Amino acid sequence: MSTLPEPLHQVSPDAVRMWRTTAWLGVLVSALIVAGLWIFLPSWPWWAWLLAAVVLLAEIVYAVVSPGLRYRVHRWEVTDEAVYTRTGWLNVAVAIAPLSRVQTVDLQQGAIMRLYDVASVTVTTASAAGAIAIEGLDTATAREVVAHLTTVTAASEGDAT
């Protein structure tokens, strides 16, 4: 039995900064909710405040640890035959989509992504498994990937089904 090689490319280092920012924004929202509860519902039992503190601490640990881990494990590759991604550090997900099955290629870039010049490419296929997302690419690379996939799939003789 042969094993699949690792996809060649890591995501952009700027993706780490973006993931860190979004994680800390989540911590900020949670902290504001806890502060609001403290102001408007000060008579909560001690265990409810302890639970809120534990949740907030877990979010802080996630914000510190997760971005670096995501950077180490997220990999992607686009060849003339397929799109290949690997994500996850506890639950590893490998997705391979033959280019003959590609239906659409989308580039997404939200406000925080634009701030860090990062984008995601989503490749939708004729598969019940769903789309393949390559997250955390620098914008120039994402545009190159979209252009390459569009060119290759447009030249393919088939209906992607």
Report mean pLDDT in 10-residue bins for the chain, 161 residues.
72 96 96 90 85 94 94 91 89 88 92 96 85 94 93 70 53
CATH code: domain 1-156 is 2.30.29
| The pLDDT value given to residue 101 | 86
Supply the pLDDT for residue 158: 59
pLDDT of residue 81: 85
* pLDDT at residue 1, rounded to an integer: 45
3-state secondary structure the chain: CCCCCCCCEECCHHHHHHHHHHHHHHHHHHHHHHHHHHHHCCCCCHHHHHHHHHHHHHHHHHHHHHHHHHHHHCEEEECCCEEEEEECCCCCEEEEEEHHHEEEEEEECCHHHHHCCEEEEEEEECCCCCCEEEEEEEHHHHHHHHHHHHHHHHHCCCCCC
The pTM (predicted TM-score) of the whole model is 0.83
